[in-house]
Amino acid sequence: MTSEEIKQYLSELNDELRLMDIKGEVSLFGGAVMVLAFNTRVSTKDIDAVFEPIREIRNAAHKIAERYDLKLDWLNYAVKMFVVKHERELLFELSHLRVTVPEPDYLLAMKIMALRPETEDESDAIFLIRHLELRNKEDVLNIVSEYYPKKIVKPRTIVWLEGYFS
């Protein structure tokens, strides 16, 4: 999905919520943030998001999926299992839909925890490291530990960080 397609689908999600007289919120993660907030990617395969009210937004998303022949999980709630408490920034607001994104440091922490070398995760992490002006592996790991204090960063990700900062 391109930036324009994402905006169109979210606008139509807003329209569906308006028809139900419900106000909702969608918090974007992953590739959708890189496409919409940072313009570092041309597209993403789906929209990782946490949203409220869950049932109503999921039903509305299914209508949009049918309308455009999208996968039913084009608005993918599975990211919820990886989300921890963090600050969000407003990306845009429509009449019945508020769209937020995580602060860049939180997005970086998520990217580092999920990093798969030689994928878009890697280029996203590099962009966020530069955006946050981090100078070394420890700076990155300190951010990760703020959000995920009980999680261990994979050894291959540590090696990747060492290589990036060498």
pLDDT tens per residue across span 104-130:
999 999 999 999 878 899 999 999 999
pLDDT of residue 83: 96
**CB 6 within 8 Å of CB 42:** no
Alpha helical stretches, state H, 69-119: 104-114
Model pLDDT for residues 48-94, shown as the tens digit of each residue: 999 999 999 999 999 999 999 999 999 999 999 999 999 999 999 99
The pTM of this model reads 0.93
Where exactly are the structural domains of the chain? 3-102, 105-165
pLDDT of residue 23: 98
pLDDT of residue 94: 98
Residues whose CB is less than 8 angstroms from the CB of residue 149 and which lie 6 or more positions away in sequence, other chains included: none
Burial class (CB within 10 angstroms; exposed 0-12, middle 13-18, buried 19+) of 160: buried
